[in-house]
Amino acid sequence: MVDAVEDETAFYSKAERYWQEVPPTVDGMLGGYGSISSIDINGSKKFLQRFLGDGKGKTGTSCALDCGAGIGRITKRLLLPLFRTVDLVDVTQEFLDKAKTYLGEEGKRVENYFCCGLQDFEPEPGRYDVIWIQWVIGHLTDDHLMRFLQRCQKGLRPDGLIVVKDNVAYEGVVLDEVDSSVCRELALVRDLVCKAGLRVLHEERQENFPDEIYQVYTLALR
């Protein structure tokens, strides 16, 4: 398991150093797979829109949080078109600086740029309708992931939603030495969600991604 990582500090600092060397572009954010961005965003939009609306039990659209936001690829194409305001959090300041130009005119509706690792980040209680966590849970140890999800739960408005979208291993946990991250099998992700005291409302596999990359699943949590 991730918590068998011998040196937690090294696990995080190595990842920070990795991302400091990555160019602040869509291709950089997606590890050279910039071409999948539209397929990814369209799948996410379809997933999210089933929850949004005005009726009873529907998730509001006033404010969203983009976790591990990078230069704001998801904020620009998914969250700003659907929410009145958005906050971004990322561990790499250079990415957040780039986001301010990358997001263009619509970026005026970004209220906060937080430079912080998710293991240390505390969402403001009761602020967010949706907290979007994509391609970043592998940078957290099991314990830190559970605690972060619990803090996110406190950060939700009534009928708010946490969405986790990430690579899923076929079996067990796969360590990536290059960017200092892990990829967990789906059962382990579900188990950590459950241990954190949240439940999975809906999950689905992202279709039409290249065969050579990990399978990707999206989970709606509350």
Given a cut of 60, whether residue 105 has pLDDT beyond it is yes
CA-based torsion, 215, 50, 45, 163: positive or negative = negative
92 in a known ligand binding site:
yes
Beta bridge partners of 52: 59
118 in a known ligand binding site:
yes
Contacts of 98 (CB under 8 A, 6+ apart): 24, 71, 72
Largest CA distance in the chain: 48
198 contacts 192 by C-beta, under 8 angstroms: no
Domains of the chain are 8-221 (3.40.50.150)
Interval 29-46 mean pLDDT: 97
Report how many helices (DSSP H) and strands (DSSP E) the chain contains, helices first.
7, 9
How many Å apart are CA 121 and CA 118, to the nearest integer? Answer: 5
Given a cut of 70, whether residue 2 has pLDDT beyond it is no
90 in a known ligand binding site:
yes
Q: What is the pLDDT of residue 6?
A: 65
Q: What are phi and psi of 33, to 5 degrees?
A: -105, 40
Q: What is the pLDDT of residue 158?
A: 96
What pLDDT band is residue 7 in, cutting at 50, 70 and 90?
confident
Q: Structure tokens of 207? A: 């279709």
91 in a known ligand binding site:
yes
73 in a known ligand binding site:
yes
Q: What is the pLDDT of residue 48?
A: 98
Q: Where are the alpha helices (DSSP H) in 30-185?
A: 37-49, 73-74, 93-102, 142-154
Given a cut of 90, whether residue 3 has pLDDT beyond it is no
Distance of CA 17 to the CA centre of its chain: 19
pLDDT in tens, 161-192: 999 999 999 999 999 999 999 999 999 999 99
pLDDT in tens, 38-54: 999 999 999 999 999 98
Given a cut of 80, whether residue 1 has pLDDT beyond it is no
pLDDT in tens, 53-83: 988 999 999 999 999 999 999 999 999 999 9
pLDDT in tens, 209-222: 999 999 999 999 99
